[in-house]
């Protein structure tokens, strides 16, 4: 849990970013975005700068937010306004799904 979340964060490659919610899901704990944030805050040795809020928004305050942005830009992540360009830099965690994936776009969102 702690480990799976931390491991997921560690898989984000340089130049890519992910979000709290996506990491929680990838770690097997959907809906636990806050835990991801909590762990990030008190753990060390993680690529913390690569974790953003939904939509690519930086959720830190003050100086930390500036530092995060600088670090990401240094890795090649582009920003559009206050958000990272997720279309180009969002890291997709590998999922195990069988080959019966819909070939055409149209991603569907479950929920309620």
Are 46 and 9 contacting, i.e. CB atoms less than 8 angstroms apart? yes
Question: What's the closest the beta carbon of residue 70 comes to DNA, in angstroms?
Answer: 14
Cα–Cα distance measured from residue 109 to residue 21, given in angstroms and rounded to the nearest whole number: 14
Q: Which positions from 66 through 105 interact with DNA, judged by CB under 7 A?
A: 68, 81
Question: What's the closest the beta carbon of residue 99 comes to DNA, in angstroms?
Answer: 26
- Per CB under 7 A, the list member of 32, 86, 90, 91 interacting with DNA is 32
Are 25 and 100 contacting, i.e. CB atoms less than 8 angstroms apart? no
Question: Could you give the residue ranges of the DSSP H alpha helices within the chain?
Answer: 2-11, 20-26, 33-42, 62-75, 86-89
The pair of three-digit structure tokens given for residue 42, joined into one six-digit string? 């008190």
Residue (63 or 98) nearer to DNA, CB: 63
- Per CB under 7 A, the list member of 13, 14, 28, 34 interacting with DNA is 34
Are 3 and 35 contacting, i.e. CB atoms less than 8 angstroms apart? no
- Per CB under 7 A, the list member of 6, 15, 48, 71 interacting with DNA is 48
Interaction site with DNA (CB under 7 A): 1-2, 19-21, 31-38, 40-42, 48-49, 51, 53-55, 57, 59-60, 64, 68, 81, 111
């Amino acid at each position: 849990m702690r480990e799976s979340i931390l491991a997921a964060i560690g898989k984000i490659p340089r130049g890519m970013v992910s979000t709290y919610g996506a990491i929680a899901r990838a770690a097997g704990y959907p809906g636990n975005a806050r835990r991801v944030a909590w762990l990030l805050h008190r753990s060390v040795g993680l690529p913390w700068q690569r974790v953003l809020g939904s939509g690519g928004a930086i959720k830190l305050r003050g100086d930390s937010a500036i530092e995060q942005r600088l670090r990401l830009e240094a890795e090649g992540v582009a920003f559009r306004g206050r958000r990272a360009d997720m279309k180009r830099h969002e890291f997709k965690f590998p999922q195990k799904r069988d080959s019966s994936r819909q070939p055409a776009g149209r991603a569907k969102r479950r929920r309620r």
